[in-house]
Structure 1
Amino acid sequence: MYKNDMLEKGFIRFDAGADIGRLYKKDAAWIAEQFAEIEQAFEDLPVDVYAAGLHRYRRFSRAVILPWSNQVEWLPAMVNEDGEAVAEYFQGSFNPEFKDAYRSFPMLQQEMLENELLKRIIQFDFAQTYWEARDMVMPVNVGVHFVKLKVERDGDEAVSSPNCLHRDGEPFTFAHLVKRRNVVGGQNVIATVDDVDQFPQDIDEGHIFADFALTKGLESYGVADVAVSHYVSAVRKGSGDEAGERSMILIDYQPTVVKPL
């Protein structure tokens, strides 16, 4: 559906809810019911221990998708020294804040591993990617991140990691909005790969391919890591009384045999 655009431009924007409904012949009521379960899972995300004071909350799980059957299989958890089920995330040198470091996050809840809409999102995103023939005869690794930026007081600021234009180190990454409520910021920027480690305001405007905010549930975008860098600005509390929140599902894809990007 969007694969050619991903190949030609290096990024795509789409409405995952509408597209998945049409492709898999699911009505709006089914999408809403499944999405409500996902929204509920974001209510008790634990604090991101790698973001002390940055108002970020996170869970993470790993899966594989089999290109020849489109089957999604969740990988088992690791158990840390405290007996908690966790999954590790490693970006090598691509995240300057955690260079060559493993980060360990609590796993997604079991009901999310069984959520049919989340599985369809993983399958749909994968269908928008492109690979070499050798990659298609082995499982493709999938990382699924639930990330919430939440600010409760005026003056608080929540940031993503890394807080600059960057590449992720995985060939493809997709972002899906779950909730945006009473926030200022959270602006997405997509730029050239030559602008990594910079802020959008510090680069040539001609290097910016897109500048937008996600505002509706399941509004989405995807990037090809070899082609573009990307960034999301910090989130601050809006003018309303309730806490500000921006919640996202992030999904990345990595071949079994990893080669330099």
Structure 2
Amino acid sequence: MISARQSITTDLAERGYCLLRGRDLLLGPDHPATLSELAGAWNDLPADPYLAEPHRYRFRRHARYRYEGGKLTRQPDGPYFQSKKDNKLFGGTERTFAPVTPEAGGNPFLLELLQFNIDQLPASATGWDVNIHLVRIVGSRDAVGEPVPEGVHRDGFAYVSMHLMKRENVVGGETEVCGEDGTHLLKGVLEHPLDSLYLDDRALLHYTSPISPADTEPARRDMLLVSYDQN
């Protein structure tokens, strides 16, 4: 069973965000093995087809789940939609990404983490629609990798969570949380595995700066991005 040393629920209610370091996420004895298996899924991500050549710095897969009656169930693969208001670059159209593989989508650690996250949110009488994205951003000497090419934004859901899986040879990748008036509420780096940020997406905006390599090898930043919406 996953638990945490701090109250995500309280932080979300009082501040609209919670920064949880991976060391403060308490795991069970079987979790390291299933987490390692899940992390391997980031080595099999196709390029994001909505970034035009030569901007092949983002790789991703997508899956949808439904949480209802205490049960989390994967839904048929389908498009992902954000409004033009929420995503100035890619909003207003349905985007279809390569699906998360059955092995990764059914990974025990992933499912427990999603359940844990939902338990931190306010109770919902109608359940939750959950989208997950496995995203790798690559930075090279020739081109920086942009985690958020659309700039400071909100995703257009009730809540979102962002979980670092791996950060390798990276300079940059600083995450910011801002109020509607542009006030900076948080600025920091998700640096170690499972460093996580939870946000009330209706109230706050967020952004992550580009990444570049620290030396001659490529920079890689692997993230599990999750959105939660009420029907």
Asked if these proteins are the same fold (TM beyond 0.5), I'd say yes
Which residue is 1:13 aligned to? Answer: 19
Identity fraction in percent = 27
* TM-score computed with the length of structure 1 as normaliser: 0.81
Residue of structure 2 aligned with 1:214, choices 190, 213, 224: 190
Residue of structure 2 aligned with 1:3, choices 2, 9, 28: 9
The count of corresponding residues between Structure 1 and Structure 2 is 222
Once residues 161 and 234 of structure 1 are traced to their aligned partners in structure 2, the CA distance between those partners, rounded to angstroms, is 8
- Counterparts of 1:134-173 in structure 2 under 5 Å? 136-151=124-139, 153-173=140-160
- Counterparts of 1:62-211 in structure 2 under 5 Å? 62-66=64-68, 68-69=69-70, 71-77=71-77, 87-92=78-83, 93-130=85-122, 136-151=124-139, 153-195=140-182, 207-211=183-187
Which residue is 1:250 aligned to? Answer: 225
Q: Which one-letter code corresponds to 1:111 in the other structure?
A: E
Superposed CA offset, 1:113-132 (max 9, x none): 2211101111111122225x
Aligned CA RMSD, in angstroms, stands at 1.6
Superposed CA offset, 1:90-127 (max 9, x none): 11131011231111101101111221110111111112
Once residues 186 and 163 of structure 1 are traced to their aligned partners in structure 2, the CA distance between those partners, rounded to angstroms, is 15
Considering fraction of residues, name the structure with more helix: 1
* TM-score computed with the length of structure 2 as normaliser: 0.91
* 2:214 maps to 1:238: yes
Secondary structure at the aligned position of 1:106 is classed as coil
Gap regions ≥5 residues in structure 1? 78-86, 196-206, 257-261
Asked if 1 retains the 8 angstrom alpha-carbon contact of 2:22 and 2:192, the reply is no
Asked if 2 retains the 8 angstrom alpha-carbon contact of 1:17 and 1:31, the reply is no
Once residues 22 and 190 of structure 2 are traced to their aligned partners in structure 1, the CA distance between those partners, rounded to angstroms, is 12
Which residue is 1:203 aligned to? Answer: none
Q: How far did 1:138 drift?
A: 2.2
